[in-house]
Amino acid sequence: MGSDETKSTIDTEKTTVPGGSCTTSKSCWMVQVVLRLFLFAATLTSIVVMVTSKQSKTIPIFPFHTQAKFTHSPAFIYFVVALSVACFYSIISTLATLSAFKKPSSCSAILLLNLAIMDAVMVGIVASATGASGGVAYIGLKGNKNVQWRKICDIYDTFCRHVGGAIAVSLVASIILLLLSIISVLSLYKRIR
């Protein structure tokens, strides 16, 4: 009788589906869709703010006209390109996640694996672009007295505010991508477990 009771418990445990499993509930897919939409909004906002960060000034000491644009720094160009890739990825992954949301039973482990891998790649790309741009922006803000680099944010204040805003929003995009990466890996883990 003891072995029948144990067998019954094992059979019950095998057939029970946990309520909070991301692979069986639509709520996990919905969370991913919402986060991916936020990712799209964050990356697009950051791109627009960086691309429109342009300021012209006339330097009073030497009367000549100068301009600060994002295209003057390779780090800022990399920033715009990397966030454009992430923005495009957010559109593609949102569509894939929406299809999985509509038909969660047909969602394969391959889709979950691809999302987990690509989310991790995008975290690296966006975080590296944010870090590179942040380093250049910090030098623009504070300068570097050791190598005689002057700070420029006292001259191009609007440009620096735009760059700082774009970097802050891209940091939010990096955090969203990190959350998506964690959710994708956990979903895949629950699926194969």
Q: Are 191 and 24 in contact (CB under 8 A)?
A: no
Residue 55, strand partner residues: 68
pLDDT tier, 10 (very low <50, low <70, confident <90, very high otherwise): very low
Q: Which helix (H) or strand (E) holds 127?
A: helix 109-142
Strand partners, 69: 54
CA 188/CA 74 separation, integer angstroms:
37
Domain ranges of the chain: 25-53+73-192
Residue 149 has pLDDT above 60, yes or no: yes
> Do 162 and 49 form a contact (C-beta atoms < 8 A)?
yes
Its pTM stands at 0.79
What average pLDDT score do residues 122-131 get?
A: 96
Of 190, 173, 46, nearest in space to 116 by CA = 190
pLDDT of residue 42: 97
How many helical (H) and strand (E) elements, i.e. helices and strands, does the chain have?
5, 2
**d(Cα 122, Cα 170) in Å, to the nearest integer?**
12
What's the alpha-carbon Rg for the chain, to the nearest Å?
24
Of 78-82, 151-155, 162-166, the least confident? 151-155
Residue % of the chain over a pLDDT of 90: 42
Q: What is the pLDDT of residues 27-56, one digit of tens each?
A: 778 888 999 999 999 999 999 999 998 776
